[in-house]
Structure 1
Amino acid sequence: MSSAPSSLPAPLDLLTAVRERRTVDLTRLKPDPIPHAVLLTLLEAANWAPTHGRTEPWRFVVFTGEGRMRLAEVLAGSLVRLKGEEQPDPEVLRTQQARQRLAPVWIAVAAEPAEQPRMPLHEEQWAVACAVQTLMLAARSLGIASKWITNAPSLHPHTREALGFGERASMMGLVYLGYPQGEWPSGERRPIEDKVRWVEGAARGGTAGGAG
């Protein structure tokens, strides 16, 4: 990855960023814009996610400023289709616009396989998931909060088409970014020991037994 611009704050070390990445609610974000150079740094980090066959299937559309209202229109249109209605309710659009304004940056994410794909779709989608996680970790390292949304409107075919993703693409949701208000939120995890089994040394008696 290329070095970060000198204007960026010193990033957290990787393990600290992993432990301290948090989902922050829209209502707890500052309206402050995120500099373009910072967004490029985050996207460049995502671009180095693992990708089987080096297909690099991640695709992003970044919405900032009044561009966020375009995303609001698209999502309102997807909500209409989900409800089986023909025309959007103006109140639905206003609500969606207000929601989009709560975060200074929204990123639409899709997985787009090659025209003649060498890898199954699920592997391409997993690669994109790795790219999103990498982006969110890079964001935390620079003091930026994030959330990955995969609700029905964000995954709807109308959203994919309206945002200009190709026919082969599959929507992977939306990520919003913003600086959090107040102190950085804390989090908890159950002990890793409760979630791991170790297999060490040579197997005896043929196959290993199942979990007890």
Structure 2
Amino acid sequence: MPTLPTPPVLPLDLLTTIQERRTVDLSALKPDPIPRPVLEGLLEAANWAPSHGQTEPWRFVVFTGAGRATLARTLSTSLVLLKGQTEPDPETLKMQLARQQLAPVWMVVAAEPSEKPRMPLYEEQWAVACAVQNLMLAARSQGIGSKWISNPPSLHPNTASSLGFAEGAIMMGMLYLGYVRDDPADWPAGKRRPVREKVRWIEDEQHQ
């Protein structure tokens, strides 16, 4: 009997995508690479985030394949600098290299305000957060898991300078991405309290 081709992953509708986007553990990811056109599509989704004044401050550096070793070396150096040392020891570098191999794609994210910013810096950071959310939702719609990390090494000035971000860039952490293994349990179930607990409605004029 001939083997049937694997059906393509169909994008989810928007509300389902929002409800089912979850942080996915590294252990739940397949090692399969994500094709470059798919990654470019996710970055295109990020590029349509809102930004006050149309500043578009989001910046990404993408690491795949052997390029992940560059990120591992950078983070190892940032980690030891945080500890007051200057060079990563072999064990630290080995551990970081192993960690970067657990996801096929890593992205370091920053906000790069203009030299003469017209908007408050916090608004530039908010815009980047919107871009990251766009990217993670687009990923979820195609069966790709993600996690946004903002640990000290990813935010360190050494990480910014080593990866070529502009002077004055505000580091916003990093993401990892990967296709999720076939076990449905690898997609964590989400839970939220009722939205009515978090909303107040004012439908008539209030007199003080």
**TM-score scaled to structure 1, two decimals?**
0.91
Q: What does residue range 141-152 of structure 1 map to in structure 2 within 5 Å?
A: 141-152=141-152
Rounded Cα–Cα distance in structure 2 between residues aligned with 1:40 and 1:197: 40
Which ranges of 4 or more aligned residues in structure 1 deviate by more than 6 Å?
none
Letter in 2 for 1:88: P
Please tell me whether the aligned partners of residues 33 and 105 of structure 2 are also in contact (alpha carbons under 8 angstroms). Answer: yes
1:199 deviates by 1.5
1:89 deviates by 1.3
SS at match of 2:173: strand
Task: Give the equivalent residue in structure 1 for 2:205.
Answer: 202
Rounded Cα–Cα distance in structure 2 between residues aligned with 1:12 and 1:114: 36
Please tell me whether the aligned partners of residues 8 and 38 of structure 1 are also in contact (alpha carbons under 8 angstroms). Answer: no
Task: Give the equivalent residue in structure 2 for 1:90.
Answer: 90
Farther off after superposition, 91-100 or 187-196: 187-196
Q: What does residue range 85-124 of structure 1 map to in structure 2 within 5 Å?
A: 85-124=85-124
Q: What does residue range 54-69 of structure 1 map to in structure 2 within 5 Å?
A: 54-69=54-69
1:51 deviates by 0.6
Please tell me whether the aligned partners of residues 46 and 135 of structure 1 are also in contact (alpha carbons under 8 angstroms). Answer: yes
Q: Does 1:16 align with 2:19?
A: no
Rounded Cα–Cα distance in structure 1 between residues aligned with 2:9 and 2:168: 38
Out of 189, 192, 196, the position equivalent to 1:189 is 192
Rounded Cα–Cα distance in structure 2 between residues aligned with 1:87 and 1:130: 35
Q: What does residue range 21-170 of structure 1 map to in structure 2 within 5 Å?
A: 21-170=21-170
Root-mean-square deviation (CA), in Å? 1.2
Letter in 1 for 2:154: S
SS at match of 1:17: helix
Rounded Cα–Cα distance in structure 1 between residues aligned with 2:99 and 2:134: 25
Please tell me whether the aligned partners of residues 77 and 86 of structure 2 are also in contact (alpha carbons under 8 angstroms). Answer: no
Please tell me whether the aligned partners of residues 111 and 124 of structure 1 are also in contact (alpha carbons under 8 angstroms). Answer: yes
SS at match of 1:135: helix
Rounded Cα–Cα distance in structure 1 between residues aligned with 2:92 and 2:28: 22
Instruction: Give deviations 1:61-89, integer Å, cap 9, x for gaps.
Output: 00000100000000000001000012211
The sequence identity of aligned pairs, in percent, is 67
Task: Give the equivalent residue in structure 2 for 1:209.
Answer: none
Rounded Cα–Cα distance in structure 1 between residues aligned with 2:87 and 2:58: 32
Letter in 2 for 1:104: P
1:8 deviates by 6.8
Rounded Cα–Cα distance in structure 1 between residues aligned with 2:66 and 2:170: 25
1:9 deviates by 3.6
User: Which ranges in structure 1 are unaligned for 5 or more consecutive residues?
Assistant: 1-6, 207-212
Farther off after superposition, 37-46 or 9-18: 9-18
Farther off after superposition, 79-88 or 39-48: 79-88
Please tell me whether the aligned partners of residues 58 and 112 of structure 1 are also in contact (alpha carbons under 8 angstroms). Answer: yes
